[in-house]
């Protein structure tokens, strides 16, 4: 085509027009596959034209694979073959059109270069210019950019489109002879499209924009709608009537269209109407002619379109709303509302469930306040209160339920409803006031009418719509319910949280979250996450949400949902006001038992009718409580935790703790004989009780939580600082004052009547605590103040323990009072009657009595009381006597059943005691399984009764005379009769307990008691790491750990002992090293641990084929014992080193090591590790120097070659340690002297080794390596010449043959 000459101007115009036509066809194929079946007549014409333009050769080439003849498909071809043939023809047609375009473009490029005229080239677009070039250029490439995914590209394309078409239209309107332009134009704009006043390019653009709206390619609909709206709003010559006809004709849905094609055309019409509504064309039409029928026609078209498919309804309504926003009220009343089918559409909305009709009615009523009957969608006359009434919400329930069709998106009706339900003004007022307008006492509060209406409407909406319609339906509608609740949250006042989080909502949440496989599980989780974020910085909201969740779940929300939702919410209070409000709400829930749940389950029950105050001593099991009591138990447990995680100042925290304390004390300790309300004029407060009697279980829970609250307050005080005030933020002091005031009210009495002994102890504690508090204030910041403070809190805990377990602690209380009197010997503390204090020289030491008293309270005490005992022990442990310490250690070593074959006659024998100190002689095990597992936590002890009645046992124990005795003796301070009495008493108690509840319970109780005593020992070791008594504690703990009878069946006990030994003894910075630590005490310990380190692993003989689990457990225990022995040896040697004993005294220590090494080299039973010995010589070189000669002998005389090689390693390690210490002149002299002394032995050893080389290659290599190391060290100390001189000639010969260059280097 490029080789042809330049043709005439008219021929060029014809080619350009043909090029534009072909380009349009290709764009239609790529951009809009759905537009081709819409214009059947144009398709036939184009097919005829395209067929004529396709070369016969191309058709022939592409149809050879389909048909054997080049004349086309035969009539006899079946349907499949015809379909294939049509596809081939389509490909040929597209390819030929593309070639035609390219050829035409090439031809026009050549013509434009040769042509000297002023005609413009339009290769990139279509030229509508006449022969004189009057009309401006319009580039059709902008249509491609209108479909781009980038919004900025689409906007730029729309601007360019409008700009060019406006210029074309202005030029067209100025032409005198428009017919000539129309005749010469071959664009697809037709004479009967109604756009007679528009330029051909404009007519083409309008038609193409409308057709492009049906394309699903990228963002074609958005871009073409933007272009159409922009064009209609700027070019006034486009007639509205013609445009409506074009939309219907170009986007007509025919019966032979498939589903996707029909959907694309419907969406195209929707976008076309949306562009028309946005362009303000309708408003301009009404302004020019207020009687125009086009607005009604437009509205009817949208209503008809909405009726075709449900997915078109919401967008059609949005288009109508877009239109009426630009129309005055007269146009809406006379045209929109009077449109054909409009009224019928509203009337049938409630029957079919049409949420879009409801949305349109609400928006129109909200904007224009019309006096129009919208069927049953809106009440007549309209008002918000009438709309949100229960009756009307029930009428429109079907419309709201059907809004789930647009899932997962929320339908537009819901934000509109919520805006009407919760106006911004009411929310702002509530937020600004900072007060909750409607709370638990809302009946007595004055609220304005707007807030009342809002709450009433919200309640109706929640009950009828959310709970009645959505929650009772499908999963989709349940999801919609939670979506609606999330929309409510941003505007929801804190006072209305209880309305929204109702019983049914909370129950639905629990049902979903209790099953992770539920389809709605993630929906519920997301709702809780949004709820948590909504209340993150608002404690008022936090209070209402926690109360709602727990109230409607009977305190089981976290339990049922297996989450920590409520726990996390409670731990994040940020203000004092929020905490106090929360406590008030909890108290209200506890007292208002009729409102525990709006819709209680069938299992709910009232308080226990059979419970009588003070009639039952044992704690009632919580599993027997009804749902109301379970909620109350949660309330009781929650009160101490409110202030636990607070980050407030001390005053605010004390205020919060004080409010919780008053409630727990009133409900747990007291009852009223005159009604349920009592006023204290001294405190200026009124106290209330529930109408029905509180069960004993709940009263005991109150006392336990009161103990926990006091323990938390004591821990949170930090270093005690006495403040001279009335209460000085001392919660214990306030409690005792509060207790005394309430006991003085005539109509108030203790909830449990106390026996005479308990009553006496109760009063003693009150009086003693009062005097101790005075002493504490007078002590200032001294150490005595801390002791007094700890004793006061222990007395308070003991007083509550008397109420919790009557009849069990009065003796301990009397003894503790005596200890307080003797410790702080003021005559004002207590006037003793004399019977409580033993007189004479036989009176026990004060600290022994205090230790015995604390031990007697440990077995059956609660965790807070144990914490108070530990605090007292912390401040008094530096004064503890050896007898008191020994009593604690005897508890740790006590076994429930003694080892079998135990020889009582040998108990005092020194040798047998040493052999069995660490439990080295294992008792034969029974084939029967041992009793069961112990509890995992020492918190589970509240149900214990008489594990070890230490108060009864220790009361019978005489105190030792204090004469000096062996530190390792188990019976220090007690003779045989006393020990027998104690053992017999303990055995009797254990036997009684075993007969009552089984051996497992007795064993578990003993283990728990030991764990508690271990806590005290840990405190002692922490406070007194350098005292000589640490050796006693260490020896007993190690013996307990090694004895399988004392730790078997309790992994927790073993791990606890192991942890204490490792952390508090071996790794402690301080250790016993004063003059009281004597070498004769350490030597036996060293010998025993060396035996333990060499002890072989023995398989149990009780089972022929033990399981792998048991074998693994035995092996792990053996490794732990071996590690304990090695660490113990290192620790003992560290103590010996710190004392700087003379060499003569250290000889026995070396002898002990030498004896252990003799066994190591001569017996296969010794399993001592060579690495352990090497580490010992490395840490303590003086031991290696003493054993050097012995090891040189053993290197050649050991019974096995393996031991000989290990001896070489030990000798090498000793030589290394001597070499490393040679930097110091004095140490170098000592090392050189040692080597010189043992040089003959060393020469003999070298000769023996090289003359008797081992058979194995690895061991021969070890010998050569050893000899090389020895030669190197000899050179360092300049002893090589002496060595060679001492070495015999036979040794020289053997060294030269076996060592070669190594020995020759030494000789040189």
Instruction: Give the pLDDT score at 949.
Output: 37
Backbone angles phi, psi at 686, to 5 degrees: -110, 135
What is d(CA 155, CA 161) in angstroms, rounded to the nearest whole number? 10
What is d(CA 37, CA 1070) in angstroms, rounded to the nearest whole number? 96
What is d(CA 546, CA 539) in angstroms, rounded to the nearest whole number? 10
Tokens representing residue 304 in the block: 């008809």
Nearest Cα neighbor of 895 from 733, 1029, 1007 is: 1007
Choose the weakest-confidence range: 106-115, 228-237, 338-347, 766-775: 106-115
Instruction: Give the pLDDT score at 1097.
Output: 82
Summarize the confidence of residues 204-227 as an average pLDDT: 89
User: For residue range 363-403, what is the model confidence (pLDDT) as tens digits?
Assistant: 888 888 877 888 888 998 888 899 999 999 999 999 999 99
DSSP one-letter string for 606-660? -S-TT--TTT--SPPPGGGS-HHHHHHHHHHHHHHHHTTT----HHHHHHHHHHH
Residue 340 has pLDDT above 70, yes or no: yes
DSSP secondary structure letter of residue 904: G
Band (847; pLDDT cuts 50, 70, 90)? confident
352-383 CB burial, b ≥16 within 10 A, e <16: ebbbbbbbbbbbbbeebebebebbbbbbeebe
Specify which residues 685 forms β-bridges with.
Answer: 680
Nearest Cα neighbor of 963 from 980, 954, 975 is: 975
Tokens representing residue 1290 in the block: 């036979």
Instruction: Give the pLDDT score at 1136.
Output: 92
Summarize the confidence of residues 233-253 as an average pLDDT: 87
What is d(CA 413, CA 404) in angstroms, rounded to the nearest whole number? 11
For the chain, report the end-to-end CA distance as a whole number of angstroms. Answer: 103
Q: Measured in whole angstroms, how far is the alpha carbon of residue 1302 from the centre of its chain?
A: 66
Residue 123 has pLDDT above 50, yes or no: no
Whole-structure pTM value: 0.70
Summarize the confidence of residues 1268-1272 as an average pLDDT: 86
What is d(CA 60, CA 68) in angstroms, rounded to the nearest whole number? 10
Residue 278 has pLDDT above 50, yes or no: yes
Token pair 């205020």: residue: 655
Specify which residues 680 forms β-bridges with.
Answer: 685
What is d(CA 546, CA 218) in angstroms, rounded to the nearest whole number? 48
Residue 63, Cβ neighbours under 10 Å: how many?
Answer: 20
What is d(CA 316, CA 558) in angstroms, rounded to the nearest whole number? 46
Residue 107 has pLDDT above 50, yes or no: no
User: For residue range 667-694, what is the model confidence (pLDDT) as tens digits?
Assistant: 999 998 888 888 888 888 889 998 888 8
Residue 309 has pLDDT above 70, yes or no: yes
* Mean pLDDT score of the chain: 76
Q: Pairing state of beta strands 670-672 and 685-688? A: unpaired
Tokens representing residue 894 in the block: 């006590």
Task: Count Cα atoms within 13 angstroms, Cβ side, for 720.
Answer: 26
Orientation of helix 1225-1237 relative to helix 1239-1251, angle to 10°: 60
Tokens representing residue 353 in the block: 């469930």
**What percent of the chain shows pLDDT beyond 70?**
72
Q: Alpha carbon of 730 to those of 439, 721, 1096: distances in Å?
A: 32, 10, 59
Instruction: Give the pLDDT score at 443.
Output: 42
Instruction: Give the pLDDT score at 87.
Output: 62
Residue 114 has pLDDT above 80, yes or no: no
Backbone angles phi, psi at 960, to 5 degrees: -70, 155
Specify which residues 678 forms β-bridges with.
Answer: 687
Summarize the confidence of residues 307-333 as an average pLDDT: 89
> Would you say how long the chain is, in residues?
1308
User: For residue range 1099-1129, what is the model confidence (pLDDT) as tens digits?
Assistant: 665 555 667 777 788 888 888 999 999 999 9
Band (91; pLDDT cuts 50, 70, 90)? low
Instruction: Give the pLDDT score at 848.
Output: 87
What is d(CA 1046, CA 1030) in angstroms, rounded to the nearest whole number? 21
Cβ atoms of 1185 and 1146 within 8 Å: the answer is no
Q: Alpha carbon of 458 to those of 464, 835, 903: distances in Å?
A: 10, 72, 83
- Show the DSSP H helices in 516-575 as ranges: 521-534, 539-551, 557-561, 565-570
779-790 CB burial, b ≥16 within 10 A, e <16: beeeebbbbbbb
Band (92; pLDDT cuts 50, 70, 90)? low
Residues 6 or more apart in contact with residue 484 via CB below 8 angstroms: 410, 414, 418, 465, 466, 470
Q: Alpha carbon of 618 to those of 700, 736, 990: distances in Å?
A: 10, 26, 21
The residue with greater pLDDT, 273 or 934, is: 273
SS3 21: helix
Band (598; pLDDT cuts 50, 70, 90)? very low
Band (434; pLDDT cuts 50, 70, 90)? very low
Instruction: Give the pLDDT score at 33.
Output: 33
Residue 842 has pLDDT above 90, yes or no: no
590-625 CB burial, b ≥16 within 10 A, e <16: bbebeebbeebeeebeebbeebebeebeebbeeeeb
């Amino acid at each position: 085509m490029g080789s042809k000459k330049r043709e005439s101007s008219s021929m060029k115009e014809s080619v350009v027009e043909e090029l534009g036509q072909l380009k349009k066809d290709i764009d239609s194929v790529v951009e809009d596959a759905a537009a081709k079946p819409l214009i059947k007549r144009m398709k036939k014409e184009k097919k005829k034209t395209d067929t004529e333009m396709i070369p016969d050769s191309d058709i022939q080439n592409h149809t050879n694979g389909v048909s054997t003849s080049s004349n086309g498909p035969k009539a006899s071809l079946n349907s499949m073959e015809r379909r294939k043939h049509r596809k081939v023809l389509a490909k040929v047609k597209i390819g030929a059109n593309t070639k035609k375009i390219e050829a035409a473009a090439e031809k026009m490029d050549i013509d434009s270069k040769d042509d000297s005229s002023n005609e413009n080239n339009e290769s990139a677009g279509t030229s509508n210019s006449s022969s004189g070039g009057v009309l401006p250029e319009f580039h059709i490439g902008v249509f491609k950019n209108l479909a781009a995914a980038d919004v900025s590209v689409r906007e730029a394309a729309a601007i360019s489109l409008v700009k060019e078409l406006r210029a074309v239209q202005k030029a067209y309107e100025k032409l005198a002879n428009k017919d000539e332009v129309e005749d010469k134009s071959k664009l697809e704009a037709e004479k009967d499209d109604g756009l007679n006043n528009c330029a051909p390019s404009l007519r083409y653009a309008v038609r193409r924009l409308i057709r492009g709206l049906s394309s699903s390619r990228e963002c074609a609909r958005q871009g073409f709608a933007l272009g159409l709206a922009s064009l209609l709003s700027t070019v006034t010559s486009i007639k509205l009537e013609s445009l409506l006809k074009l939309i219907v004709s170009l986007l007509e849905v025919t019966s032979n269209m498939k589903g996707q094609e029909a959907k694309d055309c419907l969406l195209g019409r929707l976008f076309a109407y949306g562009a028309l509504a946005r362009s303000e064309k309708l408003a301009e039409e009404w302004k020019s002619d207020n009687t125009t029928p086009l607005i009604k026609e437009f509205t009817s078209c949208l209503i008809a379109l909405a009726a075709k498919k449900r997915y078109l309804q919401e967008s059609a309504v949005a288009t109508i709303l877009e239109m009426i926003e630009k129309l005055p009220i007269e146009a809406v009343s006379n045209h929109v509302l009077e449109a054909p089918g409009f009224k019928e559409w509203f009337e049938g909305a409630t029957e079919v469930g049409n949420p879009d009709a409801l949305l349109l009615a609400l928006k129109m009523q909200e904007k224009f306040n019309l006096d129009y009957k919208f069927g049953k969608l809106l009440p007549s006359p309209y008002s918000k209160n009438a709309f949100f009434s229960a009756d009307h919400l029930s009428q429109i329930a079907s419309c709201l339920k059907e809004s789930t069709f647009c899932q997962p998106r929320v339908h537009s009706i819901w934000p509109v409803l919520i805006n009407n339900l919760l106006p911004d003004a009411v929310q702002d007022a509530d937020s600004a006031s900072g007060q909750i307008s409607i709370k638990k006492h809302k009946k007595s509060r004055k609220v304005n009418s707007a807030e009342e209406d809002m709450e009433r409407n919200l309640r109706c909406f929640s009950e009828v719509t959310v709970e009645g319609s959505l929650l009772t339906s499908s999963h989709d509608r349940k999801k919609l319910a939670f979506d609606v609740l999330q929309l409510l949250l941003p505007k929801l006042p804190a006072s209305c949280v209880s309305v929204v989080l109702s019983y049914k909502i909370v129950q639905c949440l629990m049902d979903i979250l209790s099953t992770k496989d539920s389809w709605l599980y993630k929906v519920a989780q997301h709702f809780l996450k949004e709820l948590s974020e909504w209340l993150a910085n608002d404690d008022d909201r936090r209070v209402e949400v926690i109360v709602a969740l727990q109230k409607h779940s009977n305190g089981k929300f976290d339990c049922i949902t297996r989450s920590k939702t409520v726990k996390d919410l409670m731990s994040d209070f940020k203000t004092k006001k929020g905490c106090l409000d929360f406590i008030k709400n909890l108290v209200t829930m506890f007292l208002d038992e009729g409102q525990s749940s709006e819709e209680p389950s069938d299992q709910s029950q009232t308080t226990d009718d059979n419970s009588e105050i003070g009639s039952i001593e044992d704690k009632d099991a919580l599993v027997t409580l009804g749902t109301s009591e379970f909620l109350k138990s949660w309330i009781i447990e929650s009160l101490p935790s409110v202030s636990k995680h607070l980050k407030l100042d001390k005053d605010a925290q004390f205020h919060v703790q004080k409010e919780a304390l008053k409630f727990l004390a009133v409900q747990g300790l007291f009852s009223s004989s005159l009604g349920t309300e009592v006023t204290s004029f001294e405190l200026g407060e009124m106290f209330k009780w529930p109408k029905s009697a509180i069960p004993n279980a709940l009263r005991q829970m109150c006392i336990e939580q009161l103990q926990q609250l006091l323990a938390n307050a004591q821990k949170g005080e930090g270093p005690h600082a006495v403040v001279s005030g009335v209460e000085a933020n001392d919660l214990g002091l306030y409690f005792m004052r509060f207790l005394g005031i309430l006991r003085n009210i005539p109509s108030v009495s203790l909830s449990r009547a106390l026996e005479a002994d308990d009553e006496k102890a109760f009063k003693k504690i009150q009086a003693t605590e009062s005097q101790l508090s005075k002493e504490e204030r007078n002590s200032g910041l001294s150490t005595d103040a801390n002791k007094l403070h700890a004793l006061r809190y222990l007395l308070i805990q003991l007083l509550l323990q008397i109420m919790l377990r009557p009849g069990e602690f009065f003796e301990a209380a009397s003894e503790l009072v005596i200890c307080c009197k003797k410790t702080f010997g003021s005559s004002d503390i207590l006037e003793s009657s004399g019977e409580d204090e033993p007189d004479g020289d036989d009176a026990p030491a004060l600290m022994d009595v205090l230790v015995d008293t604390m031990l007697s309270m440990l077995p059956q005490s609660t965790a807070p009381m144990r914490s108070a005992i530990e605090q007292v022990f912390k401040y008094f442990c530096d004064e503890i006597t050896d007898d008191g310490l020994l009593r604690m250690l005897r508890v740790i070593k006590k076994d429930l059943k003694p080892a079998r074959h135990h020889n009582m006659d040998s108990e005092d024998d020194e040798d047998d005691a040493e052999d069995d100190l660490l439990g080295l002689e294992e008792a034969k095990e029974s084939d029967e399984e041992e009793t069961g597992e112990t509890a995992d936590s020492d918190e589970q002890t509240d149900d214990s009764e008489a594990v070890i009645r230490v108060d009864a046992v220790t009361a019978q124990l005489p105190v030792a005379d204090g004469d000096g005795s062996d530190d390792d003796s188990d019976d220090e301070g007690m003779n045989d009769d006393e020990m027998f009495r104690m053992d017999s008493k303990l055995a009797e108690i254990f036997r009684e307990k075993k007969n009552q509840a089984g051996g497992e319970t007795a064993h578990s109780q003993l283990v728990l008691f030991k764990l508690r005593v271990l806590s005290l020992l840990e405190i002692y070791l922490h406070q007194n790491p350098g005292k000589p008594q640490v050796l006693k504690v260490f020896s007993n703990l190690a013996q307990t750990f090694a004895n399988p009878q004392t730790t078997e069946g309790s992994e927790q006990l073993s791990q606890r002992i192991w942890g204490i030994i490792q952390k508090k003894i071996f790794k402690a910075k301080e250790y016993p090293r004063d003059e009281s630590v004597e070498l004769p005490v350490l030597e036996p310990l060293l010998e025993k641990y060396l035996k333990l380190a060499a002890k072989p692993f023995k398989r149990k003989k009780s089972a022929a084929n033990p399981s792998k689990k048991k074998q693994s457990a035995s092996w792990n225990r053996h490794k732990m014992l071996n590690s304990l022995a090695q660490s113990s040896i290192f620790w003992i040697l560290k103590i010996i080193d710190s004392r700087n004993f003379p060499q003569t005294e250290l000889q026995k220590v070396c002898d002990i090591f030498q004896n252990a090494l003799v066994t190591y080299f001569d017996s296969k039973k010794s399993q001592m590790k060579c690495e352990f010995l090497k580490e010992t010589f490395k840490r303590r070189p003086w031991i290696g120097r003493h054993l050097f000669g012995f090891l040189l002998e053993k290197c050649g005389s050991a019974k096995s070659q393996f031991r000989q090689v290990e001896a070489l390693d030990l000798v090498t390690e000793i030589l290394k340690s001597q070499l490393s210490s040679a930097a110091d002149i004095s140490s170098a002299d000592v090392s050189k002297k040692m080597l010189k002394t043992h040089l003959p032995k060393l020469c003999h050893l070298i000769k023996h080794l090289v003359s008797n080389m081992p058979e194995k290659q690895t061991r021969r290599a070890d010998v050569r390596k050893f000899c090389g190391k020895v030669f190197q060290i000899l050179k360092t100390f300049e002893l090589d010449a002496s060595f060679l001189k001492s070495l015999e000639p036979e040794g020289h010969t053997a060294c030269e043959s076996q060592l070669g260059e190594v020995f020759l280097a030494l000789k040189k």
